[in-house]
Each structure stands twice: as structure tokens, then as C-alpha cells.
Amino acid sequence: MGEASKDAGLLAGVTIIDLSRVLAGPFCTMTLAHLGARVIKVEIPGTGDDSRAFGPFANGKSLYFSAINCSKESIALNLKSPDDRVIFEKLLEKADVLVENYRPGTMEKLGYGWDTLHQRYPHLIYGAASGFGDTGPISKRAAYDMVVQGMGGIMSMTGYPGQPPARVGISIGDITAGIYLSNGLCAALYKRAVSGVASKIDIAMLDCQVAILEDAVTAYDKTGEIPGPKGTRHPSIAPFQAFNAKDGMVIIAAGNDHLFSLMAGALKRPDLTTDPRFASNELRHENVDALQSELEKTLATGPVQTWLDALNAAGVPCAPINDVPHMMKEPQVAARNMIVSVNDPVAGPIKVAGNPIKVVGAAEPTTFSPPPELDADRAKILADFIGGGQ
């Protein structure tokens, strides 16, 4: 397919003006770009998106920035300069969506608050991501990923019992906010298409952390049991965790009696199926320490791959704990086009994660346009939005 054929995307024809920096906002607009929208980054002259300064670098280009900003265009504008404001307002006139992730109040100070924009550009949808959202007692406080991971509860449930809590190893606070904002903006585009009405979506990173806690709020509220960290174990199913093999760990998810019996067969441990301690999931969960010890007696005698082959042949859900290079070598990941090669004019050939929202029958681009240099698309953007160079 070569480069993204945007005409095929679900959001073909949609234009996003993107004031956002670093992660939650740019992750949102990357998702929208993958869906076929035209995304124009409006960046601060001179420095641009703060993440352009985040290492590691390749030929001076930030790989962090590159990972999140493929398939976007860039123009540098100073929103405090009258001339640049004229250009920015021309962009807003023709755009469908404005995205920003400033602290609440910043856009109002620039004269671009929602009330003003909605009156002046009634077609314009507005998406904001912030630490705590537009409302509430600490709305205007700054937050970073670590802050909302800590406040939102997920860290208290991640790690090993009796040890300090662990941070989720990626910026899950920003990333879930970015996906929820993208989701809200797609719903707002639908609403505008059927009703003509444009909306502002207000996403708080902290809200998103609360939203993803599965059953924790409901279960704690009724039972009084505080969900804590469980290492790799599932709270109520056994075996459903990682076990030590000879050269690493193997995950076995044998969540019912049938799978448990298949597992025992695959591991040549038929005794496990007649062991009264393991006769039901309830008993296996109750005796999970003994179960782990029995399983590891066997698993420790062979390498991870041997056990995966045997378990997969028997139809038992299982997995290695892949590091990033091993994940990148999984044939399924390649077959799904989830590692995309991009030819960056500065950094050279780079790899980025692909688009997880697959549209059946639509051509998948095999590459993305490279992460833009600051202001790289100025001439084209001015021509498209103003009708001449400037």
C-alpha cells in the first residue's frame, strides 16, 4: 500500500488542529491520525513540543517524540503574536477538531476558551486532556503520569504482596487519557454529523485511572476487602499466573477444570487431576501455594519454549513473558502489522507501534509519514488554509 492512503480511513476528510504536547494529547491525535484524520501540530516556535527534547536521540532527533508523532504535520505559531493568531484562527475556521492538553484555564488566558471558540466557530469540536479535568477542587493543579497512577489506585494493586507498590511500566495515566479522548472526539464527530452540534470533551487523567479499575470499586464497597498487589496471580482463578521454568517464566491460564486437565496432560502430571487439593478452581485457588510448588517441580526441569509448545499443542492458554525485543519477533505481531517501519529523513529508518484499530477489508498502510520536523509543513498548511504563502 505504501504510505497511508487516508481516503480509506474512517476519519477521512477530518482535520484536527493539535496544540498538545508530550503524551496524553499527542497519543490521542496519533490515534486519530491512524484512523485517517489530518493532524496539524501547532507548536511553539523555536522549541516545539517539549518531547522533542526527550532522549534517547538518533542523529539528534528524539525517539520519544518520533514514537508518538508519525503521520502528523507541523507548523510553528506563537499564540501570543497577533500575526500568528490570525493564522491560527484561519486554521480553526476550516478545522473540525481542536485538541489541547494545557492546564485548565490556559486557553481562556489566550482568548481561546471553549465559550469563545464555540460562539465564533460553532462547527468546531474541542478536546482537552488534563490531570484533573475542567472542574473540581484541584482542577488547576499540575499532574504527571506518576501523580495520577499514585492517586488513582492502580499502583496499590500492582507489585508483590508485602513489597512496595510498583508503577505500571508505561505511562498508563497519559495513555488511557489519550485513548478516551480520541474515543470521545469520535463520538462528538458522530454527534455533529447527525445533529450539527459541536461539543467539548473534557478528559481528566485521574478520572480515567478510576474508570479502568475493573471491579475494584464495586467489590471493595460491598465486601470491605481492599484490593492489593498479587504479583502475577489472578485474584480468584488458579492456575492463572507466571511460573518459574528452567530459563525464565511461563504463564499458564488454565481457568477451568477442563483446561486444568489438559494442562496436567501436557505437563505429564496426571497426578494433579486426582489430587484432592486441586479438585476444583475453588480448591486450587485456596491451595495456590501448593499448586505453584507442584507445577514448578515439573516446570523447573525444562525451558520455557518446551512448555509453551506442549501447552499450546494441548490448547491450554499460555505465554512467555516477552521483553520488547521478543515481543517484536512474535510472528502474530508482524502479521498484524503492529510494528511499522518509517523512513525518517533525520533519524533514518525507525520502527513504531502500529494502529490497533483494524478495519476489515481496508488497506493497512505498511508505513507512516515520518514524525515532522518543527514547522516542516508551514508552506503547505498556509496554502491549504489561507490560499497563499505568508
User: Catalytic amino acids?
Assistant: 234
Binding test (CB under 8 A) with a second copy, winner from 74, 130, 158, 292: 158
> Which pairing describes strands 125-130 and 200-204: parallel, antiparallel, or unpaired?
parallel
Touching a second copy, residues 234-273 (CB under 8 A)? 234, 236, 240-242, 249, 251, 253, 255
**CB closer to a second copy out of 66 and 74:** 66
Other Cβ atoms closer than 10 A to 55: 7
Does residue 295 belong to the site contacting a second copy (CB under 8 A)? no
Query: What is the rounded CA–CA span in Å between residue 145 and residue 167?
Result: 10
In angstroms, give the least distance from the CB of 134 to a second copy: 7
99: amino acid identity, one letter: V
Q: Is 183 in the site for a second copy (CB under 8 A)?
A: yes
303 is a contact residue toward a second copy (CB under 8 A): no
82, 223, 276, 388: which one contacts a second copy (CB under 8 A)?
223
State yes or no: residue 383 binds a second copy (CB under 8 A): no
Q: Does 193 bind a second copy (CB under 8 A)?
A: yes
- Tell me the β-bridge partners of 248: 245
The yes or no reply on residue 213 touching a second copy (CB under 8 A) is yes
Counting other chains too, the contacts that 88-92 makes at CB distance below 8 Å and 24 or more residues apart are 88/17, 88/42, 90/385, 90/386, 91/17, 91/40, 91/42, 91/381, 91/385, 92/17, 92/117, 92/120, 92/121, 92/124
**In the range 356-375, which residues lie near a second copy by CB under 8 A?**
356-362
Binding segment for a second copy among 38-46, 84-92, 265-273, 326-334 (CB under 8 A)?
326-334
Residues binding a second copy: number (CB under 8 A): 147
Q: Please spell the DSSP secondary structure of 143-201, one letter per residue.
A: --HHHHHHHHSTGGGSS-TTS-----SS-HHHHHHHHHHHHHHHHHHHHHHHH----EE
Find the binder of a second copy among 6, 21, 52, 233 (CB under 8 A). 233
Q: Let me know if 269 is exposed, middle or buried by CB neighbors in 10 A (0-12, 13-18, 19+).
A: middle
Does 215 interact with a second copy (rule: CB under 8 A)? yes
Measured from the CB atom, the residue of 224 and 276 that comes closer to a second copy is 224
Selected from 229, 265, 302, 303, the binder of a second copy by CB under 8 A is 229
Count other Cβ atoms within 10 Å, centred on residue 209: 22
Cβ(298)–Cβ(266) below 8 Å: no
Stretch that binds a second copy, among 72-80, 86-94, 264-272, 310-318 (CB under 8 A): 310-318
